[in-house]
Amino acid sequence: MRVFGLTGGIATGKSTAVKYFKQLDPEVVVFDADACVKELYERREVIEAISALAGGECVGGDGRLDRDVLRGRLFAESGLREQIQSIVHPLVRKECLASLERSAMSVGTSSFIADVPLLFEGGFDFGQDANLVVAVRRETQVQRLIMRNGFDDVTVQAILEAQLPISEKQKCADVVFWNEGSEVVLRSQIQRFIENKYR
């Protein structure tokens, strides 16, 4: 079983890449760090720890995290972002390792891919064979965030500043999937990777 880390930046097409990995190799197991964080945000102990750091305004009347308020605070306050990441990231890594262990014990698993947005920023090492990056130009990220999400310029810049620039992620990558073209082009890159380097 091959083990990979997969990352990119917001609006680079990482989710599309994951979709093609699953289509082209039905035996792949993908660990989704974003989905893991969403589940962790439902845990009482995590809510209480975040509330203690960020204040009660991040918790709604139903006792659950108000993710929109929290997201705004995290993008605006780097110190708070680092504190909360220090709580959440070790838990995500623990869940990733548990998923990796289960996958290694499964006879049919061809490979394991951990889809982690902050793979490099968080020093997320789980014994992977290689790190894969989905990349576009920064200008493309900005355009996609404005058109797809309706964010204003200030929000876009705050989001991008919170992440390592794609150009830096490319330097850390073992393999880069360039996603400036159509989805067909991205799919063909992934297919070639699976055929040539995956096995």
Contacts 24+ apart (CB under 8 A), 51-60: 53/80, 53/83, 53/84, 53/87, 54/80, 54/84
CA angle 39, 123, 137 (to 5 degrees): 90
Element (H, E) at 56: none
Closest CA to 72 of 62, 80, 61, 64: 80
182 labelled binding-site residue: no
14 is in an annotated binding site: yes
Residue 12 counted as an annotated binding residue:
yes
* 196 residue type, one letter: N
Residue 155 marked as a ligand binder:
no
Known binding residue 16? Answer is yes
Binding residues for ATP: 11-16
Binding residues: 11-16
